[in-house]
Structure 1
């Protein structure tokens, strides 16, 4: 089952004095690229949180946000009382005034507030981990649903390619006959005498250069292999991409060897279907 790299997951945890929100967004990328927005107080846990994301999402451009909203009276900022009193004493010596005015002036001075870096509360961090797991579960489910849509699109387009290949197979004898007649007419127009046996040998050699049997067989195998890989338990986006490239090689070779307008029209249709597959392949994990 294939999985898309596009997804979204979000989970909110309400603690007694905080509301913590975990948000994950992902888009397609050749590798894993995590952009994290985390409050400074949680930075020490960033590597652990990144590893959880990497294990779950594997590949893609991921935006990870951990947002904290204080809903109670909790704060890490405190008034540095000793510094404020010292400022007030010095200001009182310079100019007379009541304590309120001196306090207002003192609080504008440097270092009057201090922020203590508290250790992360273990119970709080457990809540963050649970929220992360829930958000990851949501984004994985989102990716799976997107993957089902992509898979059905691939199945339909592979079926179209198989139908076009069948038409190529049915048309091939007519194509070779037309190419042979064209060559015979060209030689006849030259109005020169040729040894029949030698001419037949040269004709066979020339027709072998336009033989597409090998390309048709390989293309059929690639189409079958693509379908088999789609049904595997893992999402093999890179592998499917390689198979699509090989399909393109065979289709291009058939087109270059065709030398027959009706078959080349079929080849154009095959290329169009394959390009649509390749475009969608960019989103597959």
Structure 2
């Protein structure tokens, strides 16, 4: 199975003390590069999350964001007198430095983080729930990467079919193109009214045939196409291998273009390079 590196997943769960939600975004990258955004009270999960990503993914830049919307409804609220006293003392100290300070607003004191507290949730229970929810989101993302990977494999196979058709057509046209070059050379000699030396003419034609021999490049293109299909069929972390094969395919297409001696072979080389570039762009997203 082929996996894309591009995917998105979201998982949410409401509980007694609030709502937990995970968002995981993944894009292509040379290596596995996780970025975690966690509330301070969930920092203990970082190691377990990184380990789960390492086991579940091979490559990609992965952004994992956890949000916790605390629900205070139905929970008894109490004032942390010690924290409120510290806040009031600090406010009065600053007020002493001002000529006409505004009076302290009790509601502003209560709205300060940590002054008004409710029944505390069990941190371990919340962490366990958050970790289970993360695994759900990760499985969703892997499923998305698989679906997109299967589509990428189909697109690449379509281009491989087109390359096979292009090379088969060119292979069948080579004898015709050589015959046309032979006739063109003979016609040129006639136009120049040059005396035809059959031996010299044969030597020129042999040199032309050698210079224009593209059988090796066509064979290598076929070999690389077969290998790409094999890698796609094998699946797994195939991105780097496929990227290497795209470079080799492009190398053969360039050599084919440099040996072109007919408009048909030139056009075939251009068509091949376009197809290879289209595959290369898709391969960049494969894990």
With the length of structure 2 as denominator, give the TM-score of the two structures.
0.82
RMSD (Å) for aligned C-alpha atoms: 3.4
User: d(CA) in 2 for partners of 1:38 and 1:58?
Assistant: 22
Q: Mark the runs of 5 or more structure 1 residues left unpaired by the alignment.
A: 95-100
Partner SS state of residue 29, structure 2: coil
Q: Equivalent of 1:153, from 152, 155, 158?
A: 155
Residue number in structure 2 paired with 1:19: 19
Residue number in structure 2 paired with 1:98: none
Residue number in structure 2 paired with 1:59: 59
Q: 1:150 to 1:82 in 2, by over 3 A?
A: closer
Residue number in structure 2 paired with 1:211: 213
Residue number in structure 1 paired with 2:45: 45
Q: Equivalent of 1:185, from 184, 187, 190?
A: 187
Q: Mark the runs of 5 or more structure 2 residues left unpaired by the alignment.
A: 97-102
Q: Deviations over 1:37-90 (max 9, x none)?
A: 1111222332331222232122112221011111134899934169459949x9
Q: Deviations over 1:152-208 (max 9, x none)?
A: 111111111111111001101111112222333344555455753344234313320
User: d(CA) in 1 for partners of 2:169 and 2:108?
Assistant: 89
Partner SS state of residue 4, structure 1: coil
Q: Deviations over 1:227-269 (max 9, x none)?
A: 1111013140111111111111111211221210122222222
Residue number in structure 2 paired with 1:236: 238
User: Contact 1:254/1:267 (CA < 8 Å) preserved in 2?
Assistant: yes
Q: 1:131 to 1:176 in 2, by over 3 A?
A: same
Residue number in structure 2 paired with 1:164: 166
User: d(CA) in 2 for partners of 1:203 and 1:229?
Assistant: 41
User: d(CA) in 1 for partners of 2:270 and 2:113?
Assistant: 73
Partner SS state of residue 54, structure 1: helix
Residue number in structure 2 paired with 1:97: none
Task: Report matched runs for 1:255-274 at 5 Å.
Answer: 255-274=257-276
Q: CA deviation at 1:31?
A: 2.2
User: d(CA) in 1 for partners of 2:83 and 2:202?
Assistant: 108
**Number of residue pairs the alignment of both structures matches:** 273
User: Contact 2:3/2:150 (CA < 8 Å) preserved in 1?
Assistant: yes
User: Contact 2:45/2:131 (CA < 8 Å) preserved in 1?
Assistant: no
With the length of structure 1 as denominator, give the TM-score of the two structures.
0.82
- Spell out structure 1 runs of 4+ moving beyond 6 A: 74-77
Partner SS state of residue 47, structure 1: helix
User: d(CA) in 1 for partners of 2:260 and 2:104?
Assistant: 94
